[in-house]
A = this chain, B = another copy of it.
């Protein structure tokens, strides 16, 4: 198992990884040029430690393996794994990974949290651009199991296998995409649902608050337990997806044609913001985020306690 990790960037995602890596026993160097990095990381650990999957962690214990290292070369010296969380700017990430590859050991695992770019683009300044992998987490990164792993085209398959093994040791659920696609998988699905959500609010069928309640009380609950294909497989009864598609498959395209394509004009944005202001009034970001994380934790624990501890089926 990896022992020495370097985390580049101390934003929300970087802090989530830092908390999780430390809780799993890694020594972590956080590379950040922020003057207040020490304070920001400590606050992040205090925020995330209680909801580290598996029962939480003690922030005082975590910091014993933590070092803040503003110098990139020193942060990378002897690293087994590097998880980069710089802003979503391709030029910046390219230049950064050029330096990372030069300063880190030649067999260090080089991972980017990017939600946008392909690994071969991020690795373009390396002698071998295929050395960089995408390891895209879902916010909050310490808590949501999914990591989308994307290797560069033509990369040695063992590279993705190493990334998968590393994330599994952290307790994550890594999924290797066959090839990169803009937005990867989860964010594309999220975007598809958001488009129709905005259409329905814009059309006045439901409010922002009602839309959220519909999702939490139906498909959200369902998809926390089985994915969409297994849902429809079961919807087909004993005949499964085959039966379901033979009965409803033809209607799918027709249904899709009737879905919305809302313009994000001023009026739409105003409607969404006004209704969100109303829906979430009187509760701060910290309150709402803490509630969300407590719920995530409760759901994950409940599913893990069911026995097999495998929430993917």
**Nearest chain B CB to A218 CB, angstrom units:** 4
B-chain residues with CB within 8 Å of residue A279 when the two chains form the complex: 229-230
Q: Which of A34-42, A77-85, A252-260 contacts B (4 or more CB under 8 A)?
A: A252-260
Query: B291 touching A299 by the CB < 8 A rule?
Result: no
Residue among B148, B193, B289, B301 making CB contact with A234, cutoff 8 Å = B289
B-chain residues with CB within 8 Å of residue A103 when the two chains form the complex: none
Bound complex: CA A307 to CA B256 (Å):
39
> A102 contacts the other chain (Cβ, under 8 Å)?
no
Query: A214 touching B144 by the CB < 8 A rule?
Result: no
Q: Would you give the 0/1 interface string for A260-286, flagging 1 where the beta carbon is closer than 8 Å to chain B? A: 010110000100110011011000110
**Nearest chain B CB to A65 CB, angstrom units:** 27
Given known A-B contacts A182-B258, A276-B233, A306 and B298 have beta carbons under 8 A apart: yes
Given known A-B contacts A204-B179, A212-B228, A295 and B301 have beta carbons under 8 A apart: no
Interface size range on A against B: 35 or more
Q: Which of A56-64, A68-76, A154-162, A170-178 contacts B (4 or more CB under 8 A)?
A: A170-178
Query: B250 touching A264 by the CB < 8 A rule?
Result: yes
B-chain residues with CB within 8 Å of residue A175 when the two chains form the complex: 206, 210, 213-214, 217
Given known A-B contacts A229-B211, A229-B212, A234-B285, A312 and B178 have beta carbons under 8 A apart: no
Query: B145 touching A217 by the CB < 8 A rule?
Result: yes
Given known A-B contacts A181-B203, A228-B193, A144 and B222 have beta carbons under 8 A apart: yes
> A89 contacts the other chain (Cβ, under 8 Å)?
no
Query: A235 touching B139 by the CB < 8 A rule?
Result: yes
> Could you tell me the dominant secondary structure of chain A's interface residues?
helix
Residue among B204, B227, B245 making CB contact with A272, cutoff 8 Å = B245
Additional A-B contact list (6), CB under 8 Å, known A191-B259, A294-B306 = A144-B217, A177-B205, A220-B220, A224-B295, A240-B276, A252-B264
23 contacts between A and B (CB under 8 A): A145-B218, A145-B221, A173-B217, A175-B206, A177-B205, A179-B205, A181-B205, A189-B196, A191-B196, A195-B256, A209-B229, A216-B311, A221-B311, A224-B295, A226-B295, A230-B279, A230-B280, A234-B285, A238-B285, A241-B276, A242-B276, A249-B264, A294-B306
Q: Which residues of A contact B (CB under 8 A)?
A: 12, 138-139, 144-146, 148, 173, 175, 177-179, 181-183, 185-186, 188-198, 200, 203-206, 208-230, 232-235, 237-238, 240-242, 245, 249-250, 252-253, 255-256, 258-259, 261, 263-264, 269, 272-273, 276-277, 279-280, 284-285, 288-289, 291-292, 294-296, 298-303, 305-306, 311-313
